[in-house]
């Protein structure tokens, strides 16, 4: 087996979405664009599939029509090294119709669910002290965009 690539089903915005995603992350690029032929099922010449990389990880975007929609059962989690990175990505993803949820979750303007997660939170949540984890969890459950400073304050007690 060579690798596993998530395939994201879009109505007709695969290329637009792929360009948006690669603009947000380093080491990202459009790899290939395939178009429908006369054989269909889409209109000849329109984008069928876009292969792109986000930070070196291959993804596929398919223009498959309106039959299927994204939902929160699957999300892409971004591990952020700083509050500035969380803030930048949160603003980009929620711009132009994106929707905030809770605990670092959101939907972008295409309906794809993301978790914008500080690495610091992941480290705090894996602490062996259940009291620390409980305090951090309590604060996290009140936040939409995750804010490291209040999480750290709760962690420290």
Contact 96, 109 (CB under 8 A): yes
pLDDT digits (tens, 9 = 90+) for 100-123: 999 999 999 999 999 999 999 999
pLDDT digits (tens, 9 = 90+) for 85-94: 999 999 999 9
The predicted pLDDT at position 40 comes to 87
The predicted pLDDT at position 152 comes to 98
Among 111, 94, 99, residue whose Cα is nearest residue 11: 111
Instruction: Indicate the pTM of the whole model.
Output: 0.94
pLDDT at 2 over 90: no
Domains and CATH numbers, the chain: 1-68 (3.30.720.100), 70-157 (3.10.180.10)
Band of pLDDT at residue 45, cut at 50, 70 and 90? very high
């Amino acid at each position: 087996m060579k690798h596993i690539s998530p395939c994201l089903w879009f109505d007709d915005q695969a290329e637009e979405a792929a360009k948006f995603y690669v603009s947000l992350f380093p080491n990202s690029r459009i790899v290939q664009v395939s178009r429908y032929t006369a054989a269909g099922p889409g209109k000849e010449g329109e984008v069928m599939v876009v292969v792109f990389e986000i930070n070196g990880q291959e993804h596929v975007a398919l223009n498959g029509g309106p039959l299927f929609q994204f939902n929160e059962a699957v999300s892409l989690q971004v591990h952020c090294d700083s509050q500035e990175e969380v803030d930048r990505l949160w603003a980009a993803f929620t711009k132009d119709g994106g929707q905030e949820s809770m605990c670092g979750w959101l939907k972008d303007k295409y309906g794809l669910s993301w978790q914008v997660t500080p690495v610091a939170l992941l480290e705090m949540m894996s602490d062996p002290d259940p009291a620390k984890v409980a305090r951090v969890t309590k604060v996290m459950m009140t936040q939409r965009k995750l804010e490291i400073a209040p999480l750290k304050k709760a962690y420290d007690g």
